[in-house]
Amino acid sequence: MSDFTSGFWNIYIGIITIVSIIACAVLLKALSTRKVSGAQVETTGHAWDEDLVELNNPLPRWWIWLFYITIVFGLVYLALYPGLGSFSGSYGWTSKKQYEEEVAKAEALSAPIYDKYAKTDLKQLASDPEAMAIGQKLFLNNCAQCHSSDARGGKGYPNLTDNDWIYGGAPETIEETIANGRKGMMPAWGALLGDDGVKDMAHYVMSLNGGTYDSLRAARGKDKFMTTCIACHGPEGKGNQAIGAEDLTKPNLLHGADEPSLIETISKGRTSVMPPQKEALGEARVHILAAYVWGLSNSPAATAPPAKTGGQ
């Protein structure tokens, strides 16, 4: 792999580029020899319709000068912009630099819009139509890929429109989740429990969330649950939001509540990652986005604190 990242290739590309340009100039020079006045011009040997022949004349002068102009343009471009291996050009342009400048310009224009909401209480912000219109756009651009455009998620991605929260649904908790991300891990128990033990455990979980289950298997699974799962999910299976342990008494489990899904989860384990958005979006955008997400499963108008009136 180091053969493709060594400095040799930068030199190789630079030499090939310069030699190619020089070769084009030499070829143009060879083709630009003027025809001697009165001299007989040879043909190329091509003829059409018996008497229409192609003469071996030099290229028209205006055509040749156009090619020379393109060569000069190429040399100037390579002096100003990247194109000769690792040489970045005297202008110092890069696509990354241009992107960062455009982002900075856009940020300078939009920052005041977000900053005016930065200190507003999340519940009050969720009742502001203008802020929620901004929050919806932020959600569609940054969250819909996983949670769907209607925020109802899918298998492996939480539904944000109900009140079943893995890490908690308080406004501040939602904001922390979006800003810093989450990483939940369910260890694999297949090697320890065996196939029958995993199936027993799955039926016990189905008995907790109202699914159709085998009572004999559920009874055996309960004993295993109390020795292997109680530390995270609790004795009643209601989970622990402090560590992201899911409430197993809910019918809509994150990775599925049917027998095949539960067997796979228990046997192989799960790792769920919510990427942090603070660095990409900034605190002000995260604040608005958190208010929008909280408002999806709550009634902002009924819970927002009253606006302050009167003097300071």
- One digit per residue, the tens of pLDDT, for the chain of length 312 reads 455 567 788 888 889 999 999 999 998 888 776 655 556 667 777 777 777 887 777 778 888 899 999 999 999 999 999 988 888 889 888 899 999 999 899 888 888 888 889 889 999 999 999 999 999 999 999 999 999 999 999 999 999 999 899 999 999 999 999 999 999 999 999 999 999 999 999 999 999 999 999 999 999 999 999 999 999 999 999 999 999 999 999 999 999 999 999 999 999 999 999 999 999 999 999 999 999 999 999 987 555 554 443 333
The answer to whether the beta carbons of residues 286 and 280 sit under 8 Å apart is no
Number of Cβ within a 10 Å radius of residue 286: 26
**DSSP-based three-state secondary structure for 95:** helix
- The full DSSP string for 23-60 is HHHHHHHHHTPPPPTTPPPPEEEEEETTTEEEE-PPPP
Which uninterrupted H or E stretch holds 272? strand 270-274
DSSP type of residue 144: H
Q: Which residues pair with 154 in a beta bridge?
A: 157
